[in-house]
Amino acid sequence: MANSTRDEQAEEIRKLAEESGVQENFLFTTTFDRYQVQLRILDRLEKAVDEAESVTTEKVYRGKEKNLYSNPVFTEYNRTVDSTNKTVSTLMRIIKNFNVGDDGGEKEDPLMRIVNGGSRAKAMRDDDDDDDESDN
């Protein structure tokens, strides 16, 4: 994927954050920064993938025995893609759920209550109350 496309996607996430008022939230800003680092890492890994001669690599041990292993660049690329996808999912969750529960409409996610400045204890108490109600 080209840098400009990734930059455009990052800018779109930033615009969504501004529209929901979450752009100054600590969790959002640190997660967004991490997302941008992951994108830069992916750019480098994609170049390494393109330059890789094979999806496997060979290691020779003392006894001249050769073993085939998957090329580490592909493993790292897949791990980074997975991590980046999880990070962007977290970003979207933060944006979507920022200030949810203030108007009494949707049920508030306890994690998002903490992100929005609520206390952990209250979030846990309210979550337990919700579980009690669903038992009835």
pLDDT in tens, 64-92: 788 888 889 999 999 999 999 999 899 98
pLDDT in tens, the chain (136 residues): 456 687 888 888 888 888 888 888 898 999 999 999 999 999 999 999 999 888 888 888 877 788 888 889 999 999 999 999 999 899 988 888 876 555 545 566 565 565 556 655 555 555 555 555 555 4
Enclosing H/E stretch for 50? helix 26-51
Q: What is the pLDDT of residue 62?
A: 77
CA 110/CA 53 separation, integer angstroms: 48
Q: What is the pLDDT of residue 36?
A: 93
CA 21/CA 14 separation, integer angstroms: 10
In the three-class reduction of DSSP (H, G, I as helix; E, B as strand; rest coil), residue 83 is classed as helix
| pTM metric for this prediction | 0.65
